[in-house]
A and B are shown apart, each in its own frame.
Chain A
Amino acid sequence: MKELLRLERLSKRFGAVAAVNSVSLSVLDGEFLTILGPSGSGKTTILRMIAGFEQPTGGRILLDGEDILDTPVNRRPFNTVFQDYALFPHMSVFQNIGYGLKVRHLPRVEIRDRVEEALASVDLAGYAARYPDQLSGGQRQRVALARALILRPRILLLDEPLGALDLALRKRMQITLKEIQERVRITFIHVTHDQEEALSISDRIAIISLGDLQQVAEPKNVYFRPANMFVARFMGENNLIGGRLSARSGDLVRVQTPMGTLHSCSAGLGQADAEGRQVSLVVRPENIVLLSEEDSGAVNALEAEVVREVFIGSEDKLIVRPRGCPGMEIMVKIHSDTAVGARSGQRVRIGWRAENCWLIPEAEAACP
């Protein structure tokens, strides 16, 4: 896929506050890119600068290699789905969806045909005469989507469009959104604070925190291979174990921790990260297994004590405290079928494979 849009050292200051800090990002033609970050991270400001609602205080925005900062909002080939949908309350669904065509002075017949087609594409045929206040949240959302897509924009910008919906509807709309994007093949830039949403619908995720871009990668990489401590923590439920590199040989490294020596693949480390460096070992709860007595050959095996077991549906969360580090809790996810019914205080052995962990060259308190 070729590059469609490029943000070059894009910055935005509001008075003394830097909302966006020199963000450079390349958006590929036809991809579904999600800008993910906690509230106040600057993700919406980036979207608003692309749309043209905010003028950056530094940097450039290039579309097909051409700077578009001087192009006003109504001349940029982008359309936005707003967080509150921004449906015009005094216009019917038909008038809302046809608005962009009407201000382009297209013939009445063409407007009618295209609006009807757009309505059908979001399963709202027959709703043309309704007004926004007669629609449910999900229907409004689809009207907003149809209103933006009918203009066939080069990029569709989505500002937390699912934020106001309840959980079940949000899950359904995530799938709808993805299906629509795959059908129309328009580049989507989607802003959200919901990690799961970002992971499930994006081709790539750009994680942003306090105005700084943290990592841009495919969902799997953001999830299993966080670039830094912020991403590791933000992507939820990672186990982070602080330690010191003690030996490095090819793809394998040893990390000295209060729980003993742990083995890891060297993924995540730079060439310059040598022995003695403070690192944090990242292990996802689903990559940890309970070891039986026979599994004595496992590379990473820890004696631990169960703190509690939490049933969360398809999985059980087992919180254990490793021996040698009483202040630390490690989370293990096990399939409910194989749940052991562990009681608190029970001794277990946990372990994981060296290739299932990941190293971040940043210090984490070894034994909090």
Chain B
Amino acid sequence: MSGTAEPSRRAGGSRLEMYLLFLPTSLWLILFIAIPTVMFFIYSFWTVKDEFLVKGFSLLNYLRFFTTGVYPELLGRTLVLALEVSGITFAMGYPLALFISRKSGRAKSILYMLVVIPLLTSYIVRIYAMRLILGSNGLINNLLIILGLIREPLPFLLFNRFAIFLTLSVILAPFMVMPIFTSLEKIPRSYIEASRDLGASDFETFWRIVFPLTLPGVIAGFMFIFILTLGDFLTPILVGGTQGMTFGKIIQMNYGIAYDWPFGSALSVILLILSLAIILIASRFGALREI
């Protein structure tokens, strides 16, 4: 009798323990993710009239987004920016990931750490670092002046759309390199050996075997960079100047400058839906397994 009763009692105990174990995490997620999300979702249906919040259901904010040409156009421009940033990080990041994955032992871990370490520093610090590099008194301009290639600092390096593109490409690059590296590492050596054994050259082996098998990692990289670029507002604020405007910055402006929280929330909801759609598409290609 006791032999049958004991295991069930133990199982009951462990279930309670399991709930207790998840409690802090769940509370954290509910408090800081779920509630704010629901809140700005509700906010997006309210309106502002004469600087006062009107708490009544209305679709005016969404109507405003779709009828004012500048907002969809800005979203489109930001999507193009995201495409450019992911394109260049892919073009630079794939060879880098391939290079690192072909190293062995110590060299491999050191090189990979070099890619990842920037993520451990603050995001703002990394943007400021780019300002120091690109500014009129910055690394690039000073170097070019010292070399005698230019006399005046190049003005187009900072405070425009190009600066946003360049900065995002540098600071988001690890998000492209990491998933590609992970998917490269997952390819068994025997696949590559089998391809060579069957007569394929190194290039053919890469093109027919390695690259197709890393596509989920590439798509994961694109997904990361798309979502991070779409929502980013600090980079345009810090290096974008007056002409560098992105979708993330317009949301921030509605919250912080115009004090139109409902419209800002509506734009956020649109951004959220877009981001979820990107994740959904990416997961179709198995990209989420690479993270």
Q: Interface residues, chain A, CB within 8 Å of chain B?
A: 51, 53, 72-75, 78-80, 82-84, 86, 88-90, 99-100, 103-104, 147-148, 151
Contact = CB atoms under 8 A, between A and B. Distances in A.
Contacts of A83: 190
23 contacts: A51-B193, A51-B197, A74-B196, A74-B197, A74-B199, A74-B200, A75-B199, A78-B197, A83-B190, A86-B188, A86-B190, A86-B191, A86-B194, A99-B195, A99-B198, A99-B200, A103-B195, A103-B198, A103-B200, A103-B204, A104-B199, A148-B197, A151-B198
Contact of B199 (A51, A53, A103): A103
Contacts of B88: none
A73 B193 contact: yes
- Residue from B196, B200, B201 having most chain A Cβ neighbours under 10 A: B196
B288 interface: no
B208 interface: yes
B36 interface: no
B199 A82 contact: no
A79 B196 CA distance: 10
A41 B200 CA distance: 30
A142 to B, nearest CB: 15
B102 to A, nearest CB: 15
Given A82-B190, A84-B188, A88-B191, A103 B208 contact: yes
B199 A151 contact: yes
A80 B193 contact: yes
Interface string B208-235: 1100110000000000000000000000
A74 B200 CA distance: 6
Contacts of B212: 90
A73 B196 contact: yes
Contacts of A51: 193, 197
Contacts of B197: 51, 53, 73-74, 78-80, 148
Contacts of A147: 198
A355 B208 CA distance: 60
Contacts of A100: 198-199
Nearest to A78: B197
Nearest to A100: B198
A100 B194 CA distance: 10
Across the A-B interface, give the 9 residue pairs with the lowest CB-CB distance, nearest first.
A100-B198, A86-B190, A86-B194, A103-B200, A73-B196, A80-B197, A82-B190, A74-B199, A74-B196
Interface string B175-205: 0000000000000101101111111110010
